[in-house]
Structure 1
Amino acid sequence: CYFDMGNAIRTYKYNVLTFIPLNLYEQFKRAANLYFLALLILQLIPDITTLPWYTTLIPLVVVLGVTAIKDLIDDLVRLLRKADLLLLSSTNPNSLCYVETAELDGCLLVCFIALIECEEPNNRLDKFTGTMLWNTERYPLELDNMLLRGCKVRNTEECHGLVIFAGNDTKIMKNGGKTRFKRTKIDELMNYMVYTIFALLLVVSAGLAIGHSYWYDDIGGKSWYLYDGLDQQASYRGFLSFWGYIIVLNTMVPISLYVSVEVIRLGQSKFINWDLQMYFPEKDTPAKARTTTLNEQLGQIQYIFSDKTGTLTQNIMQFKKCTIAGHNYGTEPVDWSWNRLADKKFSFMDHLLVARVRSKKDKEATEFFKLLSLCHTVMAEYKDDDLVYQAASPDEGALVTAARNFGYVFLSRTQDTITIREMEQENTYEMLALLDFNSDRKRMSIILKFPDGRIRLYCKGADTVIYERLSPNSRHKESTQTALDKFANETLRTLCLCYKDISQDEFDAWSRRHREAQVSLVDRETALDRVYEQIEKNLMLIGATAIEDKLQDGVPETIAKLAKADIKIWVLTGDKKETAENIGFSCSLLTDDMDIHYGEDTCFTITSKTLCYINEIVHTPTPCVICCRVTPKQKANVVSLVKKYKKAVTLSIGDGANDVNMIKTADIGVGISGQEGMQAVMSSDYAFAQFRYLQRLLLVHGRWSYIRMCKFLRFFFFKNFAFTLVHFWYSFFNGYSAQVNMFITLYNLCYSSLPVLLVGLLDQDVNDRLSLKFPKLYLPGQQGLLFNYKNFFISLFHGIFVSLIIFFIPYGAFLQTMGQDGEAPSDYQSFAVVMSSTLIFTVNLQISLETSYWTFVNCFAVLGSIAIYFGIMFDIHSAGIHVILPSIFTFTGAASNALRQPYLWLTIILTVGITLLPVICIQFLHKTIWPSVGDKVRLLASHHQPVKMLTKKPSAFQRGGRSRRSAYAFSHSRGYADLISTGRSIRHRPTGRAGYQGSIREVPHREAENI
């Protein structure tokens, strides 16, 4: 074996000494944190500082500390020392070890002690190649023989293993490259806008510094009353002034922006978690936002890529129909009271088949169910005297259960035998070889030696691969194909069954080649596939099975609503073409008025062989695409191509391990906790129990999150531009000198942050019911209409306009006004009080005009912010605080003196009115002349008029029903055939369905069409 380290390897990132420096190093890789650190350093330089150093230090420490705590918690879970083991023995009587994995699929394991030769450490989680020399015999070692780091051992008290890879050499660590950090479009756009603001900040600061230099040359240096005792050149003073203005004007991009965005995202994630309408009571499964950074991206989805089995369907398989030797069965319900080992939950509709099987005279029917009871990787165990099957996939469980009810009961298996009961007679078959299923082979085979010495190969798989390997002498090919097409049109999942008798000499020769391929250390899988091909040919067709997998509740309604929201839906399935097409009709993905093309326009049904033309298909404006017979790798490739060529926001949704790559590749990954474990959920960004909850996640939470974040960012930039640029205008009247002002410190912290933060958390233009009834409300998010460079510059120019009004109207009023004492109120303190009061009123009333959904909390935030401003202002201008800190608080009584003058209140009212009047007029024009879809919906809701969903009447002729389903009945996950001797079982929790309820109101047709 390959080792370059001991078992006790540190796989965590930090230790006591390195945590603080290493974590700070990682955090300061972010440009925003470096920017605020630079500001802090500037504030520590006495000659240029204009704000106290703690105004930047405190929020920066909070941001860094919260992130550091999160990183520390994540790192603590890595303290356990784990390794990849080769299982040698266990306490299980049959030397079996049951393994439960997260994203890995382990299997039942063989127990040996020997000399091991294996591959070097690598990141292939699905592959392990090695050999074992034991008793002069060389045996193959594969992934099925391994206990990989990250898996959990079940139903085994203890086991012994040989460490193959340890520490950073384990497969999961080798595979754990940098996970792609998912960023929203708004994040990327906001970064560019921050760069734009920083460039603007540099330009403005440089301009003011140059102005200060000229002013000092002409006026400041020649006026005795402005002399400060420092003999400095004008250029040097301008240089100091530049950095001073960098500090003062840094409020264009305050650190509170990033803190507020994270708070809003956290709150939006909690709302998703707390949504009872996305809670599935039958499995006690709530919705879960597994990330807090992508919520607004949910409101911009353009493409959805969905798995079918377990995602659109329930993944609860039932054996419904079959065809044997050209005869179709499955029409009338059957009484199973004659079979004491029958599964009480099993139902089948055909007495004729039962009679033929019980008579033992129909050879084909006998072979059909014998194959189902023998050709599988299911494990059997007894619980409370009941025989229970543990299957690798629901399909396998359904087929073995069907054989059981027809009298062919699988009882047990060992490493080299399988025992079944055939119509009350127990027989044991020797298992000579097991040719496992995988997503490329799409079939599995087993070679058995019968009690009478015969050797027979049983095979089951997809019709596309089975028919290529049938003997020319095989009968019933045409009739079986006809039955397969019929089953597919009924959306049933199909498998073909066949057999082949093998002579002892033929098997011995093949077995030698098989053993050579098994122990090959170079390209073992390809060698095994070649050997499998040699034996899996000239097969004799027996018949085919048809399994039903019902649609989940609410799937057609959900897909219809998402389609109306102009979201393009692609279904990626392993089913055959006919099945995929019919399931499309069942779930309303396809409609009768669509043109369906196999490789061309409008709606595509694509097979795995035509995926090579996907580049052309991506550029075609189709509302939906169905890809059939695709592998897990192809699913991820399809998502990558759409992201690359369409530049679209994508969402992938699935429930199984075969969907993990697709989920990770998409911009948003959604996992459904279904019958195939938690692999998809653990890899997802959002998770819930039923597909129908997707419409609420996108059309309600996603849309709200996008609208709230856009409104928050627009207003946040506006209020900071309006506030910061007042300093710019004032600089022309104060010798271009930067100012020290407590108001700068408290503006974003106390005076204006809470109302806009609550808009980002709580605002909604329409309620959740109307959001679902009018999917067209989703379109602005897809088109990015609510936050882009146009909106940014509107906020910028709005801020410039407001800052001009706030500065120059009080300035003009002060020039033309006389106080009660007969003197002009031209003092700096009164002017500052009027401007700051006007700004606070303007900003808080402006956010009030922007608020669409009012609550008590919003009212309290607006009124409270204004009250806090006046309370703090009177405190910092009071005599008491002046006595404590006379050097900082020098303007004693300024606020009370200024606000005692009625004309100053009139000036404040006039200025606020002028700043708000254009906003009110523009809002009025937009709602009356150029109303948006949201404005129209709100108008209808306010008039209490009934609303009708904008749907076409269904066609008189419907293709497919809601319960139709089909595909070849194999999961895409790798089977357990090679190591059935080391058998493994997968347990599933029981599940059920919850009823879907919805309400529809009527609205006049004309008004609905206007919407």
Structure 2
Amino acid sequence: MGLFDKLAGWLGIKKKEVHVLCLGLDNSGKTTIINKLKPSNAQTQDIVPTIGFSIEKFKTSREGQAIIFVIDSSDTLRMVVAKEELDTLLNHPDIKHRRMPILFFANKMDLRDALSSVKPVDLRWNRYADGKLQFHDELLLERLRSREDQGLREFFRALSVCHTVMVEEKDGVLLYQAASPDEEALVTAARNLGFVFLSRTQDSVTVSELGVERHYHVLAMLDFSSQRRRMSVLVREPEGGLKLYCKGADIVIFERLAPDSPHRDATEKALDGFAEETLRTLCLAGRSVEEGFYREWIGEHHRANMATQGREQELAAAYERIENNLTLLGATAIEDRLQEGVPETIRTLKRAGIKIWVLTGDKKETAVNIGYSCKLLSSDMTILEGKDLRTLLEPAQENNSSNSNNAPRLSKETGWTNQELLDLHKLGAQRKALVITGPELEFILRASDSAGGAHGQQVELQKRFVELASSCPAVICCRVTPLQKARMVELVRQYQGVVTLAIGDGANDVNMIKTAHIGVGISGQEGLQAVQCSDYSIAQFRFLQRLLLVHGRWSYIRICKYLRFFLFKTMSFTFVHIWYSFFNGFTAQRAFENWFITFYTVLYTSFPVLTMGLLERDVSDRASLQCPELYRVGQYQELFGYRVFGVTMLHALLTSLILFFIPFGAFLPSSHDYQTFAVTVATAAVFTVTAEIWTWSLPNALAILLSIVLYFTLTFMLHSFKLHQAWPKDFLFPGASLNALRDPYMWLIVLLTVTVCLLPSLTARALDTVLRPPDLHRVHSSEGQGMSVSAVELRTGFRRDQPQRRSSYAFSQERGFGERIASGTSLGKGKGARGARRQGLGEQQ
């Protein structure tokens, strides 16, 4: 074989063995980098610190020898040490005189305090810069300060003028307040690059443009709404010209561009790139307005604004008239990172059998990439959208309009043919994900005004869509309005009959939250509108898994067990009276003492049931998160339903028969009286009910002990001779309990009765455990062996400095501050606005 190896080496067929030296300081990430260089099937998931050194061998297609020097970008204190080690390495005799490629790998660049490989631009020339922006495009800043590129200046001028941000000056520092953190971020970015929003009054905006202060007279503010998805401002420049600046969603802005608008293709390409990086985008545009057109339009706008009927429609028509023939100025992209633990939470909820639909106002590309990043979509899924989606939905209209006898027979519930239903149920196995946009969804959601066949077709189309979406493991609705979000939830409730939960953090989610069965609001930077309209409030999305899988599941178990055992103890007690009535001639004589009947529900058996309803835990919170499949018992109503109700009634009926007839048969040939019989049955009933409610927990054991102690204590007290002598008509059992409980025969009957009563339930539990071991038993076994759970909540390994919130667009979905700004109601003197002092409007309210 040595000869063949040499021959292969001479011919260049044999691959050379490559030696790559990976060096760096400790904790710089050398082992992680080597692990990533390996083939995917050879990579390890758990990276541990390397003690000493390690050698890894794996195949690679690259030839040659090299050095990888890893630098920890976040370890700024040891940069000097890293440089010294690198100098020592380069001066080593084995390396100094050799030509060897060296790769400098700057690791941990995603951390907050990491050093950048590019030197940031010095912005100290701008006295209004906040010092937080790390900007690296020096060429763009030079073009901006040279004042040669007017289009670039117009872009930043639009950012600093077209908004509803309020400003306050405190200790010489400008503080911005906005309805959306994204809008504040855009104004702050323009401020750091020289276009500083200084002040605002009712009808003016003051901006410092590269050190030159300019006052713009605001003639009209076309406010943002969820339907318009854009906002505009009409201003008069200091030179006297009229300008309209508009910003909004790309699809809205592109529809209103002039045919000869420049940079359209380049901007669309940039928007696609931003969407692939899951950035949230806005487009900015503007136009010059002629004086004559303005005078005509402002009169129309004033009439629409003062209209008493149809005001919104008239304003929308006036807005449409001026928001056209726009010139594209540019686009913005804002990074809105997912909160910590979102992928893990979604994966856990999916394991629990919860279907997750994403309703967002982001672009389709952005929404899809976010779906991949949060693990809602996976690489093995096929996206069902556009033409494929229409192909599945269109046959409903064709089949409904056809009167041919050969037409396929439709299902009455969904309108699908039998073959289509079979194909539909295969979608889940085929891993299809449905992605639909707002305009496509509007066609499905809109209801026909006619009461004839058109309306029937629309309802059938909606049924088919909901059935199709429910069959897919993932659904993403993008570019949807708040109204469409609410109507989607309404469709699911109407045609699926399931319990819906809506979660959101902004005003655009309020309608959806109020429409769902359960609304959850996330308190964050988008305001408190969602929280105020929700049933539950959480601080971060990852807390949803604990809300549902732990507290939600415990609550369901407690309520179901409380209802079951309360029904059992009450009905088993009541049926005894029925059986006794057959032997007392259906008279008013009771099977128990009057005081026992009074205290049976209030004291003797209430504490175990209440303890179970308040503190019951079948498994720990760790186990609930570790095994989310346990949540499915609530979805299938396994703990309470018609079947459980019937079984509970039969169990109570059987228990009452045993409680009555065993003591009755035992006392029938003896000389014991009615009072002894009543005490015996009562004692057996208390022991049986408390034993049935027994669970292996300290609170439950204490509650049972308390119930038994109260029973014997109160029984002896109520059967005393003194009470009988004082109130003979109320206390009719003097000394009955003392005489009965002294008799061993009575205790034998109680023991026999309780044992026979418990046999059916114990047998049923044993058979259920042996024949059908559910997940619960496996979790109990795992807990007994020591379940390896590191924390109560699942956490991602990637740590971020501050969790951010998501919203549909780069500004708030609620109506903006335009009306308040135009009316002056938001410019109180308590705000200390610079413009109020300058223009003398500080007293306006």
TM superposition score normalised by structure 2: 0.73
The one-letter code of the counterpart of 1:493 is R
- State whether residues 526 and 807 of structure 2, in contact with CA within 8 Å, keep that contact through their aligned partners in structure 1: no
Matches within 5 A, 1:14-93: none
The one-letter code of the counterpart of 1:606 is I
| CA 966–525 in structure 1, closer or farther in 2 if over 3 Å, else same | closer
1:168 is matched with none
2:810 is matched with 969
Give the share of equivalent positions with the same residue, in percent.
Answer: 54
d(CA) in 1 for partners of 2:333, 2:787: 49
- State whether residues 564 and 775 of structure 1, in contact with CA within 8 Å, keep that contact through their aligned partners in structure 2: yes
1:563 is matched with 350
d(CA) in 1 for partners of 2:685, 2:808: 66
SS for the counterpart of 1:733 is: coil
| CA 350–739 in structure 1, closer or farther in 2 if over 3 Å, else same | farther
Matches within 5 A, 1:333-482: 333-482=120-269
Can you give the 5+ residue segments of structure 2 that lack an aligned partner in the other structure?
Answer: 1-111, 390-426, 446-461, 797-802, 829-845
SS for the counterpart of 1:552 is: coil
| CA 588–476 in structure 1, closer or farther in 2 if over 3 Å, else same | same
C-alpha displacement of 1:469: 1.1
SS for the counterpart of 1:415 is: coil
Partner residue of 2:693 out of 837, 841, 847: 847
SS for the counterpart of 1:550 is: coil
- State whether residues 655 and 674 of structure 1, in contact with CA within 8 Å, keep that contact through their aligned partners in structure 2: yes
| CA 596–572 in structure 1, closer or farther in 2 if over 3 Å, else same | same
d(CA) in 2 for partners of 1:687, 1:942: 34
| CA 439–382 in structure 1, closer or farther in 2 if over 3 Å, else same | same
d(CA) in 1 for partners of 2:622, 2:510: 32
1:607 is matched with 437
- State whether residues 283 and 331 of structure 2, in contact with CA within 8 Å, keep that contact through their aligned partners in structure 1: yes
2:272 is matched with 485
| CA 563–629 in structure 1, closer or farther in 2 if over 3 Å, else same | same
Matches within 5 A, 1:298-313: none
- State whether residues 618 and 642 of structure 1, in contact with CA within 8 Å, keep that contact through their aligned partners in structure 2: yes
CA offsets per residue over residues 418-456 of structure 1, 9 Å max, x none? 111111111112222222211111111122222222222
Are 1:794 and 2:625 an aligned pair? Answer: no
d(CA) in 1 for partners of 2:736, 2:302: 96
1:982 is matched with 823
d(CA) in 2 for partners of 1:556, 1:981: 43
1:216 is matched with none
CA offsets per residue over residues 849-888 of structure 1, 9 Å max, x none? xx2x401x32221112112111111222211111111112
Are 1:879 and 2:725 an aligned pair? Answer: no
Partner residue of 2:565 out of 715, 722, 744: 715
1:831 is matched with 677
d(CA) in 2 for partners of 1:971, 1:490: 21
Partner residue of 1:683 out of 516, 533, 541: 533
CA offsets per residue over residues 75-120 of structure 1, 9 Å max, x none? xxxxxxxxxxxxxxxxxxxxxxxxxxxxxxxxxxxxxxxxxxxxxx
- State whether residues 378 and 985 of structure 1, in contact with CA within 8 Å, keep that contact through their aligned partners in structure 2: no
C-alpha displacement of 1:794: 0.8
Can you give the 5+ residue segments of structure 1 that lack an aligned partner in the other structure?
Answer: 1-317, 319-329, 817-823, 955-961, 988-1011
C-alpha displacement of 1:530: 1.4
| CA 655–948 in structure 1, closer or farther in 2 if over 3 Å, else same | closer
| CA 500–790 in structure 1, closer or farther in 2 if over 3 Å, else same | same
Matches within 5 A, 1:486-505: 486-505=273-292
CA offsets per residue over residues 120-174 of structure 1, 9 Å max, x none? xxxxxxxxxxxxxxxxxxxxxxxxxxxxxxxxxxxxxxxxxxxxxxxxxxxxxxx
Are 1:744 and 2:592 an aligned pair? Answer: no
Are 1:619 and 2:443 an aligned pair? Answer: no
Matches within 5 A, 1:910-925: 910-925=752-767
d(CA) in 1 for partners of 2:580, 2:341: 62
d(CA) in 1 for partners of 2:706, 2:178: 62
C-alpha displacement of 1:399: 1.1
Name which of structure 1's ranges 651-660 and 574-583 shifts more when overlaid on structure 2: 651-660
| CA 332–776 in structure 1, closer or farther in 2 if over 3 Å, else same | farther
1:93 is matched with none
Matches within 5 A, 1:646-657: 646-657=496-507
- State whether residues 572 and 655 of structure 2, in contact with CA within 8 Å, keep that contact through their aligned partners in structure 1: yes
The one-letter code of the counterpart of 1:787 is F
Are 1:776 and 2:624 an aligned pair? Answer: no
| CA 719–965 in structure 1, closer or farther in 2 if over 3 Å, else same | closer
CA offsets per residue over residues 354-411 of structure 1, 9 Å max, x none? 2221222222211111111111121221112211112122222111111111101111
C-alpha displacement of 1:506: 2.3
| CA 384–985 in structure 1, closer or farther in 2 if over 3 Å, else same | farther
d(CA) in 1 for partners of 2:309, 2:316: 13
| CA 983–560 in structure 1, closer or farther in 2 if over 3 Å, else same | farther
CA offsets per residue over residues 783-819 of structure 1, 9 Å max, x none? 1111001111111111111111111111111134xxx
The one-letter code of the counterpart of 2:375 is S
C-alpha displacement of 1:749: 0.7
d(CA) in 2 for partners of 1:676, 1:968: 11
- State whether residues 411 and 420 of structure 1, in contact with CA within 8 Å, keep that contact through their aligned partners in structure 2: yes
Partner residue of 2:521 out of 671, 676, 683: 671
CA offsets per residue over residues 592-614 of structure 1, 9 Å max, x none? 22222126463222211122336
d(CA) in 2 for partners of 1:920, 1:571: 46
SS for the counterpart of 2:246 is: strand
The one-letter code of the counterpart of 1:613 is I
Name which of structure 1's ranges 663-672 and 728-737 shifts more when overlaid on structure 2: 663-672
1:860 is matched with 702
| CA 967–364 in structure 1, closer or farther in 2 if over 3 Å, else same | farther
SS for the counterpart of 2:255 is: helix
- State whether residues 576 and 967 of structure 1, in contact with CA within 8 Å, keep that contact through their aligned partners in structure 2: no
d(CA) in 2 for partners of 1:814, 1:789: 38
1:724 is matched with 574
SS for the counterpart of 2:295 is: helix
- State whether residues 416 and 431 of structure 1, in contact with CA within 8 Å, keep that contact through their aligned partners in structure 2: yes
SS for the counterpart of 1:431 is: strand
C-alpha displacement of 1:490: 0.8
CA offsets per residue over residues 936-967 of structure 1, 9 Å max, x none? 11112213365799xxxx9xxxxxxx999896
C-alpha displacement of 1:729: 0.7
d(CA) in 2 for partners of 1:585, 1:349: 29
CA offsets per residue over residues 323-352 of structure 1, 9 Å max, x none? xxxxxxx99744322221112233444222
d(CA) in 2 for partners of 1:421, 1:943: 68
d(CA) in 1 for partners of 2:725, 2:661: 34
d(CA) in 2 for partners of 1:652, 1:894: 61
d(CA) in 1 for partners of 2:496, 2:809: 32
| CA 670–963 in structure 1, closer or farther in 2 if over 3 Å, else same | closer
SS for the counterpart of 2:153 is: helix
- State whether residues 655 and 671 of structure 1, in contact with CA within 8 Å, keep that contact through their aligned partners in structure 2: yes
Superposed CA RMSD in Å reads 2.4
